[in-house]
Amino acid sequence: MKIIEIKDNQFLQSFLNRNNYEEIEEIDEKVDKILAKVEKEGDQALLFFTEQFDHVSLQNIKVTEKEIEQALQEVEEDFLKVLQEAKENIWQFHQKQMQNSWFFNKEESITLGQKISPIERVGIYVPGGKAAYPSTVLMDAIPAKVAGVSSISMVTPPGKDGKIHPNILAAAKISGVDEIYKVGGAQAIAALTFGTESIKPVSKIVGPGNIFVARAKRKVFGYVDIDMIAGPSEICIIADEKAKQEFVAADLLSQAEHDELACSILITPSLEFAKSVKRQVEEQLKQLKRKEIAQKSIENYGAIIIVDSIEQAFTLSNEIAPEHLEILLENPFAYLSKVKNAGAIFLGSYSPEPLGDYFAGPNHTLPTSRTAKFSSPLGVDDFIKKSSIIYYKKNDLEKVKDKIIFFTEKEGLEGHGNSIKVRF
Ligand SMILES: NC(=O)c1ccc[n+]([C@@H]2O[C@H](COP(=O)([O-])OP(=O)(O)OC[C@H]3O[C@@H](n4cnc5c(N)ncnc54)[C@H](O)[C@@H]3O)[C@@H](O)[C@H]2O)c1
Ligand SMILES: N[C@H](CO)Cc1c[nH]c[nH+]1
Ligand SMILES: [Zn+2]
């Protein structure tokens, strides 16, 4: 893990700019080909790519009711209870985000308003390459249910046995997912966008995934809506020497173990503290089951940045716009106003990032790659849309008709003017 002085601006900038454009170009080329083949060949292409990337030859893409029932038998009873409790916390939090339609009256009888409607068909992506994420099923599906979405199609890559992990299927059942398909990567995004023999197209695709998923979502935007770019996980911690080094190291590693491309950064004013966290990271890393992934991530995208002041720590963190920001300083609420860009903010020593990943209630599908500068966590807003409402009576229209006709003349649109004139 590198220790970088904030004064080393050149190195810092190259470290923070994680886009390796050559690599992204290569991935984009591959993604373009996958999207085109699925659009043209449908299910056949899905089966082809599943064999190529997930190393399994499937008979059916759609998960059957029988498979779901069987999975429910296999899942530990205690885990079902935890899923249920997590669901309730996530539901409660997202219900607060609900928006209502509104109307107001202007003058005598004019009524104007805004009607909220759920998006009808959405697709949720649940990652499944390096790990199975039942928590992501809850985080993607529950806000859609709260918003009133009537059809939720879930896609996730199958394991080498051609099955979806029973914990994923149980989470889908608990969250009210309607259809489940065994397909992942860019090919799954293509299928949800264009439709295939087995998969009906949707209007919006949400959910996190690896770089292939993230780039594919970017490319299909416009054919469908997407939530955001939620790619490889990130954590940024602002801490001083009063924080517990063991906590800081563990929290950094919690995200490093997701992906070789995950990014874990500590920002601190204390060099001594930095050195002891670095030692802790090295120690704790050895104990992790996923140490190979975490080690690569820490080597390539892990850093401890030494700043001159806490003020400077927040300026830098706002520039990084991390997916997760932990503030491990005394009286953390006092610093909240300094945070401008972050997907989720964790305050104090007993709100570690995994609390948010699994249980607290706020969504864990969050903007990454500095997109927290303009994107928000996945939520109910992602699953609704708005329609404007306009109601005028004859005398209301009569009062403004000449102004509208005058306006239509300025735009040279006689047909528009006639639509007003014909009524009087
Ligand atoms: N931001 C968030 O909210 C959030 C939440 C959970 C997970 N994550 C991130 O999601 C990601 C999950 O990644 P994952 O890989 O475990 O699962 P994944 O399901 O996103 O990706 C696996 C799929 O990628 C495709 N793929 C793999 N290698 C390929 C190749 N060489 N060419 C073409 N396609 C290929 C395959 O189709 C495979 O099924 C991690 O980066 C994790 O950090 C983010
Ligand atoms: N930290 C991930 C989002 O970056 C979400 C997750 C799911 N399971 C564990 N963690
Ligand atoms: Zn996580």
Q: Are residues 369 and 406 in the same domain?
A: no
Q: What pLDDT sits at residue 159?
A: 93
Q: Are residues 333 and 261 in the same domain?
A: yes
Q: Are residues 146 and 53 in the same domain?
A: yes
Q: Are residues 138 and 161 in the same domain?
A: yes
- Number of domains the chain is built from: 3
Q: Are residues 183 and 48 in the same domain?
A: yes
CA of 357 to the centre of ligand 2 (A): 5
Q: What pLDDT sits at residue 229?
A: 80
Q: Are residues 314 and 327 in the same domain?
A: yes
Do the strands 121-125 and 151-156 form a parallel or antiparallel pair, or are they unpaired?
Answer: parallel
What contacts 142, CB < 8 A, 6 or more positions away? 87, 90, 91, 94, 175
Torsion, Cα of 167, 171, 176, 177 (10° steps): -60
Is 210 assigned a ligand-binding role in the annotation?
A: yes
Each of the 424 residues of the chain gets a pLDDT tens digit; together they read: 999 888 777 777 777 776 666 788 999 999 999 999 999 999 999 999 999 999 999 989 999 999 999 999 999 999 999 999 999 999 999 999 999 999 999 987 999 999 999 999 999 999 987 778 999 999 999 999 999 999 999 999 999 999 999 999 999 999 999 999 999 999 999 999 999 999 999 999 999 898 899 999 999 999 999 998 877 899 999 999 999 999 999 999 999 999 998 999 999 999 999 999 999 999 999 999 999 999 999 999 999 999 999 999 999 999 999 999 999 999 999 999 999 999 999 999 999 999 999 999 999 999 998 999 999 999 999 999 999 999 999 999 999 999 999 999 999 999 999 999 999 9
Cβ neighbours around 27 below 10 Å, total: 18
| Phi, psi (deg, nearest 5) at residue 304 | -115, 125
Nearest CA to ligand 1 atom 9: 232
Q: What pLDDT sits at residue 216?
A: 97
Q: Which atom of ligand 1 approaches the CA of 128 most closely? A: 19
Q: Are residues 95 and 200 in the same domain?
A: yes
Q: What pLDDT sits at residue 19?
A: 65
CA of 98 to the centre of ligand 1 (A): 30
User: For residue 32, is it within any domain?
Assistant: no
User: For residue 26, is it within any domain?
Assistant: no
**Does the annotation count 323 as an active-site position?**
yes
Q: Are residues 338 and 412 in the same domain?
A: no
User: For residue 33, is it within any domain?
Assistant: no
CA of 68 to the centre of ligand 2 (A): 24
Q: What pLDDT sits at residue 20?
A: 65
Ligand 3 (single-atom ion) residues, CB below 5 Å? 357
Q: Which atom of ligand 2 approaches the CA of 234 most closely? A: 4
Which residue type does 205 have? Answer: I
**Does the annotation count 26 as an active-site position?**
no
Are 277 and 248 in contact by the 8 Å Cβ rule? The answer is: yes
Choose the catalytic residue: 257, 324, 353, 364.
324
| Phi, psi (deg, nearest 5) at residue 339 | -85, 120
Q: Are residues 242 and 216 in the same domain?
A: no
Q: Which CATH number does the domain housing residue 322 bear? A: 3.40.50.1980
The domain of 292 spans 2-19+232-373
Provide the token pair at 192: 């949800």
C-alpha span between 352 and 280 (Å, rounded): 17
ipTM score for this prediction: 0.96
CA of 9 to the centre of ligand 3 (A): 29
Question: 228, 255, 280 — which closes off a domain?
Answer: 228
Are 345 and 257 in contact by the 8 Å Cβ rule? The answer is: no
Provide the token pair at 278: 């670095």
User: For residue 331, is it within any domain?
Assistant: yes
Do the strands 179-182 and 234-239 form a parallel or antiparallel pair, or are they unpaired?
Answer: unpaired
Q: Are residues 249 and 168 in the same domain?
A: no
C-alpha span between 301 and 324 (Å, rounded): 15
User: For residue 15, is it within any domain?
Assistant: yes
Whether 136 lines ligand 2, by a CB cut-off of 6 Å, is: yes
Q: Are residues 280 and 366 in the same domain?
A: yes
Q: How far is CA 113 from the centre of its chain?
A: 30
Dihedral sign, Cα of residue 196, residue 57, residue 182, residue 72 = positive
User: For residue 386, is it within any domain?
Assistant: no
Q: Are residues 277 and 357 in the same domain?
A: yes
User: For residue 59, is it within any domain?
Assistant: yes
| pTM of the predicted protein model | 0.92
User: For residue 30, is it within any domain?
Assistant: no
C-alpha span between 6 and 380 (Å, rounded): 39
Q: What pLDDT sits at residue 228?
A: 86
Question: 228, 261, 288 — which closes off a domain?
Answer: 228
Question: 205, 228, 251 — which closes off a domain?
Answer: 228
To test the pocket of ligand 1, the residue of 48, 50, 53 to mutate (highest count of ligand atoms within 8 Å of its CB) is 53
C-alpha span between 122 and 130 (Å, rounded): 24
C-alpha span between 60 and 193 (Å, rounded): 19
Whether 364 lines ligand 2, by a CB cut-off of 6 Å, is: yes
Q: How far is CA 376 from the centre of its chain?
A: 9
